[in-house]
Amino acid sequence: MTARVGENIEIWDQATLDAEFIKMISLLIPAYNCHPTAPPSPDEIGRGGFWANQLTNRYIRNFNREEFAGKLAKITAPTLITYGRCEPNPPQRQTFLRDAIPNSIMVVFDKSGHNAHLEQPELFGDVLCAFLADEPLPLEHYDGVASALEKSE
């Protein structure tokens, strides 16, 4: 069931929202990997529409990039930021984090997407262990926007 609010705005009931969210996720999740897998089943996704409705609306209403950068600047712990070359999101999202978090570094996994820990588990584990042990990383790391964008294609 759909309710019309104004000329171009519709409010979906929960069942419709869940169904539409599951369709969207079924398209998006495989795109987050260099080597797409089968989309998740509706049972694996659960009540996606509920979370889409709650989290997306809250995010849109409340996100303030400058305020968020100020909060990130307060992080004092060494921070590892990862980015997979096949990630559908632009690298600028990670470089924003890299620039906003002091004492952070960013590594790029060339043969993975959003889930480097699944697509390149051994390399991901090596990077993580080296980072936690404060040892040299087995991947080139970036500590500024320009260098990360130069490597992007």
User: What is the C-alpha to C-alpha distance for residues 83 and 14, in angstroms, rounded to an integer?
Assistant: 34
**Superfamily of domain 65-151, CATH level 4:** Alpha/Beta hydrolase fold, catalytic domain (3.40.50.1820)
Q: Which of 14, 16, 35, 36 is nearest to 27 (CA)?
A: 36
pLDDT at 136 over 80: yes
Q: Which of 19-23, 73-77, 107-111, 134-138 has the lowest mean pLDDT?
A: 19-23
| SS3 at position 4 | strand
pTM of the model: 0.65
CB 103: neighbour CB atoms within 10 A? 10
pLDDT at 111 over 80: yes
In the chain, CATH 3.40.50.1820 covers: 65-151
